[in-house]
Amino acid sequence: MNNSTSLRVRLPVLVLLMEVVFLGLFAGFVTYDDNANAKFQNNETNPMDNSLYRDYPFFADVQVMIFVGFGCLLAFLRLYGFSGMVFNFLTATFTIQWAILMQGYFQFYSDGKIHLGVINLLNAEFACAVVLISFGAVLGKTSPVQLLVMALLEVPIFALTEWAVLKYLKINDAGGSILIHLFACYFGLGVTFVLYRPSLNDGHVKEVTSYQSDILSLMGTLFLWVFWPSFNSALTLKGDDQHRAVLHTFIGLSSSTMTAFALSAVFNKRGKLTMADIQNVTLAGGVTVGASVDMMISPAAAYALGIMGCTACFMGYRYLTPFLARHFRIQDQCGIHNLHGLTGLISCTAGICAILMANEETYGPSMYQIFSHRAPMEGDPKLLELQQLIPGLMPGLGRTAKEQAIYQVAAIFSTIGAAAVGGVLTGFALKLPCLATPSDEFCFDDELFFDVPSDFEFTQLLDDIEIFIMG
Amino acid sequence: MNNSTSLRVRLPVLVLLMEVVFLGLFAGFVTYDDNANAKFQNNETNPMDNSLYRDYPFFADVQVMIFVGFGCLLAFLRLYGFSGMVFNFLTATFTIQWAILMQGYFQFYSDGKIHLGVINLLNAEFACAVVLISFGAVLGKTSPVQLLVMALLEVPIFALTEWAVLKYLKINDAGGSILIHLFACYFGLGVTFVLYRPSLNDGHVKEVTSYQSDILSLMGTLFLWVFWPSFNSALTLKGDDQHRAVLHTFIGLSSSTMTAFALSAVFNKRGKLTMADIQNVTLAGGVTVGASVDMMISPAAAYALGIMGCTACFMGYRYLTPFLARHFRIQDQCGIHNLHGLTGLISCTAGICAILMANEETYGPSMYQIFSHRAPMEGDPKLLELQQLIPGLMPGLGRTAKEQAIYQVAAIFSTIGAAAVGGVLTGFALKLPCLATPSDEFCFDDELFFDVPSDFEFTQLLDDIEIFIMG
Amino acid sequence: MNNSTSLRVRLPVLVLLMEVVFLGLFAGFVTYDDNANAKFQNNETNPMDNSLYRDYPFFADVQVMIFVGFGCLLAFLRLYGFSGMVFNFLTATFTIQWAILMQGYFQFYSDGKIHLGVINLLNAEFACAVVLISFGAVLGKTSPVQLLVMALLEVPIFALTEWAVLKYLKINDAGGSILIHLFACYFGLGVTFVLYRPSLNDGHVKEVTSYQSDILSLMGTLFLWVFWPSFNSALTLKGDDQHRAVLHTFIGLSSSTMTAFALSAVFNKRGKLTMADIQNVTLAGGVTVGASVDMMISPAAAYALGIMGCTACFMGYRYLTPFLARHFRIQDQCGIHNLHGLTGLISCTAGICAILMANEETYGPSMYQIFSHRAPMEGDPKLLELQQLIPGLMPGLGRTAKEQAIYQVAAIFSTIGAAAVGGVLTGFALKLPCLATPSDEFCFDDELFFDVPSDFEFTQLLDDIEIFIMG
C-alpha cells in the first residue's frame, strides 16, 4: 500500500495520453468502409446484403467471450476477483482500440485511410484474445499499468507478425491456432520469463480459490465453451466452410470435456474431481481443432483431436508447468502453455496433415477456395476451367499440397520466434520503474489496486476463522 | 468419503470406454450433410443460403440455455453448487454426443451414413434438455457415474420413442410438450421412484440454499427465460410459424411470471416472496404454450395459457410434490412434475383444442403446411389446387382435425408410457453396485465428489457460527 | 416486518387485477401482424424474408440486457441483491405487457386492432428500459407494489409522449437519447423528488456493497456493455445506418471505458480504483453516442463523445448527485441523472450538430432516408429525381437542417417537461397508503420482502464479526 503502487498519476497519465493519440489517429486516418458509408448506397444496394448481417452475429458472440467469458474465468482467485474481471475489461478495451488502428494500418489501409466496419472490430477482438491469453501468464503479478504497456507493445508486434505471415507466407489458419494461440502463448511466456519471481515458486498464501470464485470462473468457462464455435468460425469463408468450423469446434470441445472429467478423476488421489481441470482443460478441444477447423477432416477426426488436445493440456498442467517454473524460470500462472501452446502445436500438426491429404476428390472444385493459394495462377487454363465451376474463384499461387505445408511450418516457427522475442523485450519494458509493480507480498490481492468493501478482509481471514471456530 | 464413492476408477473407465465407442461410431458412420460438405458446393450454391444461417442463431441461444441456464438453475443448493453446475456440464456434453449418434441413426440416416449439420446438434440439444430435466428429479442423490448411466439409457429410449411417434403417429409438437417435457418428466419420475430414499422424506440438513446460491440460480432462470422463445421456435417451420412461436412463448412467459409473483405472495404466511417460486414457477408459461406454439391460437390464448400453467405449477409445488413423496415414493427433487409434467399436460390439451379449431379461414392455405398431415394425399385434385397457392406443399395423409387430435392423444399416452417404463428400468440399472451411489448422509454435498476450497467447510458451518456469534 | 409492508394482499390484488385487464385487452384488441399471420402467406412469400429474421437477433440481445444486465447491475448492494434482481424481473415483465398495449394503441393500431410482431416486443423492451432507468432513482426505497404502480403510470405517459413527439415533432433519435434516456431520467428524478427521505441524506447503514455483490453488479455492466451496440442500433434503418450505429456505439463505449478508469484512479485519494465507477461510468459512452448514432459523424467523433460523456457522468456522480440530494431534495440512488441525464443532454447536442452539418456531399442521396423529414414533399420534382437514385424513398416534409434542429430542441424540452411533470404526479401516487412503502430503517434490506436463507443474517453481521475476530 505504498506510493510505488498508487495508480493516481501513472494510470491516468498513460490512459489519457493514449486516448489523445488514439483520438488523433482516428480523426486523421479512420473512415467508414463501403458497407458503413451512406454515400456508397445506391439503388442497387439491398440493405439486408450489408456485411453487418454476416459479421455482427459472430462479433456479438465473441464480445461475450472476451468480456464476460475471459473476465469470469480470470476471476478464479479468492482475493483477486475484482482484478481478474476488471483488468480484463480495461486491457480488452484498450487492446481493441489499439488493434483497430494497428491492424487497420496493416490490413485495411487504402487511399491513406483505414476503412472501418464490423469486420475490423471482429479482427481487433481476435488481437484482444491474443493479449488476454498472454495476460494469463502474468495474472496476479502485474499492475494495470504494466498490463496496458504490455498491450501497447504486444499489439503492434502481433499485427506486424500477422500481416507478414498472411502476406508473405500465405497460410491457412482459420481458427487462429498459429497466429492467435501460439503467438499469444509464447509472447506471454517470454514476458513471464523476464518477470520471474523466485519467491512465488513455492506458491503464495493468497493463491487460493474460494467456493464462489470457483463457481464464477466456471461460468466464464461455460460462456467460452458455448460460444467457441462462433470464435473458430468467425473468419472462415461463408457457407459450408463456416458450417464445418462450427461442427468441428463443437465436437472437439465435447470430446475434450469428457476426457477432462476422466483425467481429473483418475489423477486425483482421493478419486474426486478438481475444479481447476474443469475450468480449463475442458476447453482444450476448441484450440486443438483450430488449424483445420474449416477443412474436410471428418467429424471423427475432430473428435480425436479433442481427446488428444485435452490429454496434452492436462498432462501439461500436471507435469510441464511445475517443471518450467522450477527449471526454466517460466512461471505460467494460468497455464497458457498447456491450454494454448501444446494444443496449438497439436492443432498445427493436424492442420498440416489435413493440408497434405486434401484433394479434389474430397473437396470438389471448392478445394481451391479453402486452400486459395493452391488455386492455379492467373493465365493457367485450369483456372478458367475451375472458374466455370466456381464463378469468382480468385487466381492463386498454384502451390502443391506439400509446398503449402512447408509454408505452414515456416509460419509456425517464425510466429513462435517473433512472439518469444517480442515477449522477452516486452518483459524488460515491464520492469521499468514507475509501472506500479506489485511487491511479492501483494500479488494476488485486490486490495492493492482497489477500494474493497468491508467484507473483503473477512474473506482474507476465512481460514483463521475456521480454525478459531472449530478449534 | 469412503472408497465406494471414489470416482478414480469408475468414472474414467466409463467415460473413456464410451469415448472409444463414440469415436468408432463417428469414424464409421458420421459424415457431413450437404450443407457442410465442400463437395456439394457448385456454381449455383449461394453461401449465405447455407442452412447454417437459419439454424445456428437458434442453436447458440439453446446452448446458453443448456450449459449456463440449466447449470446455474441447478446450483441452487448451498453446498451443492459445484455439483449442480458441473454434473450438468458433464451430463449435457455426454448426452449430446450420444444423441447425435442415436437420433442420427433414427432420423438422419441414409446410404449407410449419419449426415451431420448444425440441425443435428440442435436436435441433440433437445435430447439433452430431456436428460437434464430428468436429472432434476434425482439432483443431489446421484453420482456422476449414475448420471452418465442414466443418460446412456435415456437417450436411446428417447430417440426411439421420438422416432416412432413422429414416424407412425405423425403429430404436431413444435415446442416439444409431448416429446420433451412429458417424456423427460415421467422418465425422471420413474427413476426417482426406484431410487426412493425414505430418510430424505423429512428433508435433509444440507437441503438449504444460501444467499449466493439463490442469486446464482435466479441468473439461470433469467437466461432460460430470455432465450426460451428461441427454444420453442427452433424447430418450427421458418417464416410466420416461427414468428408466432416467438410471440406466444414470450407472452406466455410474461403472464406466467406475473402470476408467479402474485401466488408467491398470497401463499406466504408472512406476505413475502419466496425465491424458489421465482426461480421455477415463472418459467411454467414457456412449457405451457409449447404444443400450440406455432398455431394461430391468438396472443390472448398464449396469455391465458401462461396464467393457467403457472397456477398449476405453483399448486403442484405446494401440494402435489409433498403428496407424491409421502404416498407414492416419488421424491421429485426439483419438482419437474410441476414445471414439466402438469404444464405439459395442459399444453397438450391446448394443442389438441387448437388442432380441432384450426380451419382454412384462419390459416389460409398454409394450414396444410403447419398441419402437414392434414394436407391432401398424393393424387387428390385438392392437392394440385393447393400447390398452386403454396408451391412445394408436400402431399399429406388427408387427416381430418379430429383424426389428428386422436393421434395427438395416442402420442401423449404412448410417450408417457414409454417414459415411465424406461425410467423405472433405468432406475433399477442405477441401483447396480459400483456406480458410486452417495449415502444418505452425503446427499447434497459437494465434498463427496469434489476437492473443495478451504472456505467450503466454513460455508457448512455458517449456521453454527451464527449461533456462536449471536449466542 | 409489520403488516404495513406485507405483500400478501396488496401485490396479488394488483397483479391479478392487471392480468385480467391485460387479458381482456389482448383478447379484444391484439392480433398478429402480417409477418406473423398464417393467412397472409402466399406463393410469393419467402419465409426467410419474414421480419422475424431482421428483428429477432436484436430483440434477443436486448432481452439479455434488460433481464440479466439490468438485473445484475441493480443487485450491487450487499443486502439488496434479491430485491435488485427480482424487482427488476417483475417490473420488466409487467412493463413490457403494458407497453405492448399502450404503444400498440398509439403506434400499431389499425382496423380496430393492435398488430403484433417481434417489432412490437422490441419497442416494448425500450419502454421497459425507460421504466427500469427510472427505477434506478428510487432503488431500495420502494416496495414492489410501488414499482408496479410507477410502471402502470409511467408507461402511458411515455407512450403518449413518444407518440406525440414522433408524430408531431418528427425527430431523429435512433439511440433513444431523448425519448428513452432523458425521459426516463427526468421522470425518475420527479418521482424521487416527491419520495424524498431526509434521513437517508447521510447515508444508510445498509447502503454498502459486498465483495460478491460488486462482482455480480460488474457482470451486469459487462452484459450491458457487450450488447449495447444492439440496443442502439435495433431501431435504425437497416443496412449502412445500422452498421454505423454498431460502430459508433462500440467506439463510444470503448473510449468511455478507458476514461472511466483514468478518472477513477485520479480522483481516488489512495490512487486505487473504485468499483462503482467501473460499474456505471464505463457505460456513459453508450448513451452519449445515442442521438447521432446512425449519422455520418465519423468514428473520431464517436470516440470524442465517449470521452465527453464519461467525464460529465463521472463529475456528476462526484459533485452533482450529492449536491442535488442536499439542496434540491433529489435523492438519485443509482445516479441516473449522471448516466442518462447529463450524457443524454450531451448526446442531444451532438445530434443537433450532426443534423446541422449533414449534407448530400457526405451522405449522398441516402441523406433523405436517414433524415426522412428533410426529403422533398410530395409533388416536388426533386423527389422524383431522388427516387430514381433511391427507389422507395418516401416523400418528406422538405425541412431544412436548421428546421430539423429546431424540432429536435423542441422535442428535448417537451420530453423533459412531460417526464418531470409525470414523474412528480407519479411520486404523489406512490405516497398513497397501502402501497407497502418501506420504513427508513428497512430500506436496502431484502428481508422486508423476501424469505431469506439462513446465512443472510450472517451477511448482515459481517462487520460485527470482523471486529469480534480481530478485536
Distance from CA of A263 to the nearest CA of B (A): 7
Name the residue with cell 460523456.
Answer: C309
Judge whether C254 and C285 are in contact, CB under 8 Å. Answer: yes
Cell numbers at residue A171, please? 497460410
Which among A215, A225, A250 has the least Cβ separation from residue B121?
A250
Q: Which residues of C touch A5 (CB under 8 A)?
A: 271
Could you give the dihedral angle defined by the CA atoms of residues B156, B162, B166 and B172, in that order, rounded to the nearest 10 degrees?
-170
Given this model, what pLDDT does residue A454 score? 84
CA A75, C68, B188 angle in degrees (round to 5)? 90
Name the residue with cell 401466488.
Answer: B263
Which residue of chain B is at minimal alpha-carbon distance from A458? Answer: B455
Neighbours of A381 (CB within 10 A): 8
Among A37-46, A280-289, C85-94, the range scoring the smallest mean pLDDT is A37-46
B309 pLDDT higher than 90: yes
Given this model, what pLDDT does residue B1 score? 42
Q: Are strands B30-32 and B113-116 parallel, antiparallel or unpaired?
A: parallel
3-state secondary structure of B265: helix
Which among B35, B86, B464 has the least Cβ separation from residue A278?
B86
Nearest-angstrom CA–CA distance, B369 and C41:
11
- Percentages of chain A per state (helix, strand, coil), in multiples of 5: 75, 0, 25
Judge whether A135 and A150 are in contact, CB under 8 Å. Answer: yes
Distance from CA of B210 to the nearest CA of A (A): 11
List, for residues B78-110, the tens digit of each pLDDT value: 999 999 999 999 999 999 999 999 999 999 888
Q: Per-residue confidence at A200, pLDDT binned at 50, 70, 90?
A: confident
List, for residues C25-36, the tens digit of each pLDDT value: 999 999 999 999
Nearest-angstrom CA–CA distance, C326 and B312:
50
Q: Which residues of A touch C208 (CB under 8 A)?
A: 453-454
Percent of chain B whose predicted confidence (pLDDT) is above 70: 97
Which phi and psi angles does B31 have, rounded to 5°? -135, 175
Burial class (CB in 10 A: 0-12, 13-18, 19+), B415: buried
Nearest-angstrom CA–CA distance, C344 and C349:
9
B46-78 as b/e, with b when 16 or more CB fall inside 10 Å?
ebeebbbbbbbbbbbbbbbbbbbbbbbbbbbbb
- CATH architecture of the domain with range A3-38+49-357+400-453: Orthogonal Bundle (1.10)
| Mean pLDDT to the nearest integer, B37-62 | 91
| Mean pLDDT to the nearest integer, A307-332 | 95
The enclosing H or E element of B230 equals: helix B211-233
Neighbours of A329 (CB within 10 A): 15
Q: Which residues of B touch A242 (CB under 8 A)?
A: 50, 52
| Mean pLDDT to the nearest integer, C173-178 | 90
Q: Helix C183-194 crosses helix C118-138 at what angle (to 10 degrees)?
A: 40
Q: Per-residue confidence at B239, pLDDT binned at 50, 70, 90?
A: very high
Q: Which residues of A touch B15 (CB under 8 A)?
A: 258-259, 261-262
C278-293 as b/e, with b when 16 or more CB fall inside 10 Å?
bbbbbbbbbbbbbbbb
CB distance C255–A48 less than 8 Å?
A: no
Distance from CA of C80 to the nearest CA of B (A): 10
B467 pLDDT higher than 70: no
Which among A469, C396, A453, A315 has a CA at the least distance from the CA of B459? Answer: A469
List, for residues C270-300, the tens digit of each pLDDT value: 999 999 999 999 999 999 999 999 999 999 9
DSSP secondary structure letter of residue B166:
I
Nearest-angstrom CA–CA distance, C51 and A235:
27
Nearest-angstrom CA–CA distance, A380 and A383:
5
DSSP secondary structure letter of residue C290:
G
Given this model, what pLDDT does residue B390 score? 85
CB distance C52–B255 less than 8 Å?
A: no
Nearest-angstrom CA–CA distance, C258 and C250:
13
Percent of chain C whose predicted confidence (pLDDT) is above 90: 82
Which among A446, A208, A462 has a CA at the least distance from the CA of B453? Answer: A208
Cell numbers at residue C229, please? 451496440
A383 pLDDT higher than 60: yes
Judge whether B330 and B405 are in contact, CB under 8 Å. Answer: no
3-state secondary structure of C140: coil
A1 pLDDT higher than 70: no
Residue A41's region, left for phi above 0, alpha for psi from -120 to 50, else beta, is beta
List, for residues C450-470, the tens digit of each pLDDT value: 999 988 877 766 666 655 655
A430 pLDDT higher than 60: yes
Model ipTM value: 0.95
Q: Which residues of B touch A208 (CB under 8 A)?
A: 453-454
Distance from CA of C348 to the nearest CA of B (A): 31
Given this model, what pLDDT does residue C44 score? 77
Given this model, what pLDDT does residue A465 score? 61
Residues 6+ apart with CB under 8 A from B126: B62, B176, B180, B234, B235
Given this model, what pLDDT does residue A457 score? 76
| Mean pLDDT to the nearest integer, B130-159 | 96
- Best residue in C219, C261, C274, C296 to probe A by mutation, most A CBs within 10 Å? C261
Distance from CA of A156 to the nearest CA of C (A): 19
A28 pLDDT higher than 90: yes
Q: Which residues of A touch B41 (CB under 8 A)?
A: 239-240, 364, 366, 390
What average pLDDT does chain C have? 93
Better-predicted residue by pLDDT, C4 or A57: A57
Percent of chain C whose predicted confidence (pLDDT) is above 70: 97
Which residue of chain A is at minimal alpha-carbon distance from B59? Answer: A226
Given this model, what pLDDT does residue C467 score? 59
Q: Per-residue confidence at C439, pLDDT binned at 50, 70, 90?
A: very high
List, for residues B177-224, the tens digit of each pLDDT value: 999 999 999 999 999 999 999 988 888 888 899 999 999 999 999 999
The enclosing H or E element of B403 equals: helix B401-430
Q: What is the CATH number of domain B3-36+51-357+400-470?
A: 1.10.3430.10
| Mean pLDDT to the nearest integer, A172-201 | 94
Given this model, what pLDDT does residue B4 score? 82
List, for residues A222-250, the tens digit of each pLDDT value: 999 999 999 999 999 999 999 999 999 99
A416 pLDDT higher than 60: yes
Given this model, what pLDDT does residue C1 score? 42
CB distance A465–C469 less than 8 Å?
A: yes
CB distance C7–B272 less than 8 Å?
A: yes
Judge whether B140 and B447 are in contact, CB under 8 Å. Answer: no
Distance from CA of A278 to the nearest CA of B (A): 8
List, for residues C104-160, the tens digit of each pLDDT value: 999 988 889 999 999 999 999 999 999 999 999 999 999 999 999 999 999 999 999
Nearest-angstrom CA–CA distance, B304 and B259:
11
The enclosing H or E element of A110 equals: strand A109-110
What average pLDDT does chain A have? 93
Which phi and psi angles does B81 have, rounded to 5°? -70, -45
Which among A214, A239, A270 has the least Cβ separation from residue B47?
A239
Residue A170's region, left for phi above 0, alpha for psi from -120 to 50, else beta, is left
Q: Which residues of C touch A448 (CB under 8 A)?
A: 272
Nearest-angstrom CA–CA distance, B201 and B199:
6
What average pLDDT does chain B have? 93
| Mean pLDDT to the nearest integer, A353-368 | 92
Residues 6+ apart with CB under 8 A from B73: B217, B220, B221, B224, B279
B30 pLDDT higher than 90: yes
Which among B47, B64, B449 has the least Cβ separation from residue A272?
B449
What is the residue extent of each domain of chain B?
3-36+51-357+400-470
Judge whether C178 and C341 are in contact, CB under 8 Å. Answer: no
CATH class of C7-35+52-357+400-470: mainly alpha
- Best residue in A17, A43, A108, A128 to probe C by mutation, most C CBs within 10 Å? A43
